[in-house]
Amino acid sequence: MATEEAAVTNFIRDIINEDLAAGKHSGVVTRFPPEPNGYLHIGHAKSICLNFGIAQDYAGRCHLRFDDTNPTAEDIEYVDSITEDVKWLGFNWGESCFYAADYFERIYGYAEDLIKKDRAYVCTLSPEEFKEYRGVPNRPGKSSPWRDRPVEESLDLFRRMRAGEFADGEYVVRAKIDMASPNLHMRDPAIYRIKHAHHHRTGDAWCVYPMYDFAHCIEDSIEGITHSICTLEFEVHRPLYDWILDALEVECHPQQIEFARLNLTYTVMSKRKLLELVRDGHVDGWDDPRMPTVSGLRRRGFTAASIREFCRRVGVTKVESLTDIALLEHCIRDELNKTAARAMGVLNPLKLVITNYPEGQEETLEGINNPGDESAGTRPVPFSRELYIERGDFREEAPKKFFRLKPGQEVRLRYGYLVTCTGCKKDEATGEVTEVTCTYDPETRGGNAPDGRRVKGTIHWVSAAHAKEVEVRLFDRLFTCERPDDVPEGGDFKDNLNPDSLSVTRAFVEPSLATAEPGSRFQLERTGYFVVDTKDSTPECPVFSRIVPLRDSWAKKR
Ligand code: ATP
Ligand code: MG
C-alpha cells in the first residue's frame, strides 16, 4: 500500500478512540456482514475498507460474516464471489469467517427466551392485517388480538411452527414492544416467520427463519463485536437493535453506528437492480467491465489499490451525497500513470506510406516504456516504409491550429522520424481517404532535427508489416444520466441504459503487445489505459479492454 496515504480520520474513529480511552473495550472488533444474494459492488468496498481498515489500524479483528437468514435469495455462488472479492481487495479475516446460519439454533433459543419473558408472542394476523394494524407514523397502531396470548400457548405454537405443522405466513412471532411508538419498527415487529425453503447451508433443517433485525444484533453479540457499523437507513432500526439485546440481557451489547452509503453518478448500486441487468442480459454477467461490482471493476482493469484509494478519498460521513464517478476513474488513472508501460496501437487505422524510405528496408527504433520511471527501460519498436496511423490524425483540409498531418505539414512520428505530408489517395466512389503519403528526413532519427527546427505535432503509429491485430473494447458509462435511479412514475431505471456503452473495433498494435498476459495493463499512447481481458482474450485473438481514456475530467474540474 505504498502509494496510499494514511487513513483519514472520521467520526467513527473518534467514537472508537473515546471508547478505548474510557476503557469500554479492551480491543476493537468490527464485521463486514454481506447477505450472499448478489456480488459485491463498489459501495460494499467502502464498507469493507472502513471495517477492515479500522481493525487493521487498531490491531483488532474484522469478521467476514455471511448474513444468510433469507434462504430464497441466497446462493453458494455469491458466498464464493464475496470471499474472493474481499481477499482481492487486500483484506484478511484470519480465522473469523462466520455464517449467521450457523447460529440458527441459538437465535431460535433467544426467540423462545423472549416468549418466556412475555416479551414476544405468536400472532395469527394475516400479512395484510398485520400491516393495517401497524398503522402510520403519526397515529398509534392497533394491538393485535393475539398480543396477550398466554406465554405457554405462544411457546407451543412457536415449537409447532418449527416442527413444520403450518404453512408459510400462517403465524409469525412478534416482539411485544409499543404499538403507539412513532417509530414503526418498534410496533411489535415480526422476529420469526415460517418459510418452507431450502437453505444453501442448512438445507431443509429449518422452516422458520429469523427476521433480519432480530438476527443481526444477536449475530453481533454472539461474535463479541464492539462497533457494529452500518449504513444510515438502519438508524431507525437502532432502537430495535438495542431493545432486543436489552430484553435478552446478553453479556455483549455492541454499539451500532451508521454512516452514509456510497452513491455514484451514472451508476445503480442496488443488488436487486444489478441482478436484473445480469438476468435480462443487458450486461455480460456480474463481472461485465461496465458493472460497478468489485468483479466488474477487477475485470475492467482496476487495481485493488486504486479502489482502496478511492474509498479513502471519499471518506466517511453521516451526510448523504452523490460521488462523481470521475473520481473513481481518476484514482486508477493516477496509479497507472505511474506504473503502466507505454506502447502504441492504432484504433482506426489509415495507411501512411513513406515514399522516400527504401522498399523492403526495416529498422528497429527504441521506445521508452515509462517516461516517469527510467527503470522501466526501453523496448524495440520496428519501423518500415508502410505504417498505420489514426484516421483522425490526418486531414486533407485542416485549420491552421491542426498540428497533425495535413498536406505540406511536418510531424514527428513518436520515437521515429520527422515526416512531411505530400498528399493522399482516395476511393473514387466514396471519396474516402485510403492512404496518406509522406517523405521522411533521414537526419531526424529519434524525432529531433539537427538544425533545431520546431515541429509541434507528434503522432503514434505502428509498422503495417509488424503490427498485430487485436479486438479492442471501448466502454462508455452504463447509464446516460447522473442519477439513473430517478425515474418518472411508471418508468424503469433500465430506460436510462446507455445503448452505446460498449463499442468493439479491431486495432493494430505494436508487436511487443502480442504476448501480453491476460490481466496485464498498459497505456496505448494518446488513447488510454488498457487491460488484456481475463475472460475472452486468447493468444490467437487477443482482446484489449480500455480501462479509462487518458483525459482526466476529475483533475479538470479541480
Ligand atoms: P444493496 O442495497 O446494494 O442490495 P445491501 O445493503 O442489501 O446492498 P448487504 O449485503 O446487506 O447489501 O451489505 C453488506 C454491508 O455493506 C452492509 O453493512 C451495508 O451497510 C454495506 N453497504 C451496502 N451498500 C453500501 C453502499 N452503497 N455504501 C456503503 N456501504 C454499503
Ligand atoms: Mg442489506
CB atoms within 10 A of CB 338: 10
* Inter-axis angle of helices 42-57 and 76-88, nearest 10: 60
User: Which amino acid is located at 334 in the chain?
Assistant: D
Q: 297: CA distance to ligand 1 center in Å?
A: 17
Question: Which residue has the least CA distance to atom 1 on ligand 1?
Answer: 270
For 362-380, letters b (16+ CB in 10 Å) and e give eeebebbbbeeeeeeeebe
State the average pLDDT over residues 415-427. 97
Average pLDDT, the chain: 96
Cell 412457536 found at: 158
Domain ranges of the chain: 11-259, 271-339+470-548, 347-466
Is 61 in a helix, a strand, or coil?
strand
The β-bridge relationship of strands 227-231 and 255-259 is parallel
Q: Is 35 a catalytic residue?
A: yes
Question: Which ligand has the shortest distance to the CA of 67?
Answer: 1
Q: What is the CATH number of domain 271-339+470-548?
A: 2.40.240.10
Given the residues 134, 159, 261, 494, select the one marked as catalytic.
261
Task: Please give the number of the atom of ligand 1 that sits closest to the Cα of 35.
Answer: 10
Please determine whether the domains at 271-339+470-548 and 347-466 fall in the same fold group of CATH: yes
Residue 4 has pLDDT above 50, yes or no: no
* Segment among 53-62, 114-123, 228-237, 444-453 with least mean pLDDT: 444-453
CATH superfamily of 347-466: Ribosomal Protein L25; Chain P (2.40.240.10)
Q: 515: CA distance to ligand 2 center in Å?
A: 43
Please give the radius of gyration of the chain, using alpha carbons only, rounded to the nearest integer.
Answer: 31
Q: Measured in whole angstroms, how far is the alpha carbon of residue 295 from the centre of its chain?
A: 7
| C-alpha cell recorded at residue 258 | 451508521
Please work out whether the CB of residue 47 comes within 6 Å of at least one atom of ligand 1. yes
State the average pLDDT over residues 109-130. 97
For 144-154, letters b (16+ CB in 10 Å) and e give bebeebeeeeb
Question: Which ligand has the shortest distance to the CA of 260?
Answer: 1
Q: What are phi and psi of 496, to 5 degrees?
A: -95, 5
Please work out whether the CB of residue 176 comes within 6 Å of at least one atom of ligand 1. no
| pLDDT, tens digit (0-9, with 9 covering 90-100), for 31-89 | 999 999 999 999 999 999 999 999 999 999 999 999 999 999 999 999 999 999 999 99
pTM check: above 0.85: yes
Q: Is 249 a catalytic residue?
A: no
State the average pLDDT over residues 2-13. 69
Please work out whether the CB of residue 31 comes within 6 Å of at least one atom of ligand 1. no
| pLDDT, tens digit (0-9, with 9 covering 90-100), for 231-261 | 999 999 999 999 999 999 999 999 999 999 9
pLDDT band at 274 (very low <50, low <70, confident <90, very high): very high
DSSP state of 253: -
| C-alpha cell recorded at residue 401 | 491550429
CB atoms within 10 A of CB 385: 19
Q: What is the per-residue pLDDT for 6?
A: 57
Is 314 in a helix, a strand, or coil?
helix
Of 556 and 486, which is predicted with more confidence? 486
pLDDT band at 386 (very low <50, low <70, confident <90, very high): very high
| C-alpha cell recorded at residue 26 | 479492551
% of residues, the chain, pLDDT over 70: 98
Q: Is 271 a catalytic residue?
A: yes
Residue 427 has pLDDT above 90, yes or no: yes
Q: What is the per-residue pLDDT for 130?
A: 96
Please work out whether the CB of residue 271 comes within 6 Å of at least one atom of ligand 1. yes
Q: 317: CA distance to ligand 2 center in Å?
A: 19
Please work out whether the CB of residue 33 comes within 6 Å of at least one atom of ligand 1. yes
Residue 557 has pLDDT above 90, yes or no: no
Question: Which residue has the least CA distance to atom 18 on ligand 1?
Answer: 230
% of residues, the chain, pLDDT over 90: 96
Q: What is the per-residue pLDDT for 3?
A: 39
Residue 394 has pLDDT above 60, yes or no: yes
Q: 274: CA distance to ligand 2 center in Å?
A: 14
| pLDDT, tens digit (0-9, with 9 covering 90-100), for 316-362 | 999 999 999 999 999 999 999 999 999 999 999 999 999 999 999 99
CB burial class (10 A; 0-12, 13-18, 19+) of residue 100? buried
Please work out whether the CB of residue 262 comes within 6 Å of at least one atom of ligand 1. yes
Q: What is the CATH number of domain 11-259?
A: 3.40.50.620
Write out the DSSP string of 405-428: B-TT-EEEETTS-EEEEEEEEE-T
Cβ–Cβ under 8 Å, residues 318 and 259: yes
Ramachandran class of 224: left when φ > 0, alpha when ψ lies in -120 to 50, beta otherwise: left
Residue 554 has pLDDT above 90, yes or no: no
Task: Please give the number of the atom of ligand 1 that sits closest to the Cα of 47.
Answer: 30
Q: What is the per-residue pLDDT for 2?
A: 38
DSSP state of 279: H
Q: What is the per-residue pLDDT for 149?
A: 98
Q: 379: CA distance to ligand 1 center in Å?
A: 46
| pLDDT, tens digit (0-9, with 9 covering 90-100), for 293-314 | 999 999 999 999 999 999 999 9
Question: Which residue has the least CA distance to atom 3 on ligand 1?
Answer: 270
